[in-house]
Amino acid sequence: MSAKKILVADDQDPNRKIIKDLLTAKGYQVIEAKNGAEAIKKAGENPDLILLDIVMPDIDGFAVAQKLKKGTKFIMLTAHEDGEVIKKAFAAGALDYISKPFQPADLLQKIAKYLG
């Protein structure tokens, strides 16, 4: 069975590195995107799941979500605990959200929940 592919879209290099290292150690294949435009392009590689930061400088996570093909699984990453932001994430089609900073075990648990 081939490794599940996860696209990590976050404009912060340290965040992407932490997530990539964590996921790679668990056997996932990781694709990285450093901004919204790159996330849209790399979503064309058909990842099994996308971890999508809401706040990015060029195109935010909500705009990226609108451009994803129907049925694409994604989880929003956010530093905002604001209920309105979280509601907006679900309205955009997110399966779930992860608050930053996050606990590695929480991230892995949510990923496993949606990838089986």
Q: Fold for domain 5-115?
A: Rossmann fold (3.40.50)
pLDDT in tens, 18-66: 999 999 999 999 999 999 999 999 999 999 999 999 999 899 999 999 9
Which DSSP helix (H) or strand (E) runs through 36? Answer: helix 36-42
Q: What is the DSSP letter of 113?
A: H
Sequence spans of domains, the chain = 5-115
Q: How far is Cα 75 from Cα 61, in angstroms, rounded to an integer?
A: 10
Summarised one tens digit per residue, pLDDT across range 58-100 is 999 999 999 998 889 999 999 877 888 889 999 999 999 999 9
Q: How does 57-86 read in b/e, with b if 16+ C-beta sit within 10 Å?
A: eebebbebbeebeeebbbbbbbebeeeebb
pTM above 0.75, yes or no: yes
Q: Phi and psi dihedrals of 31, rounded to 5? A: -110, 140
Q: Which two tokens stand for residue 22?
A: 């964590």
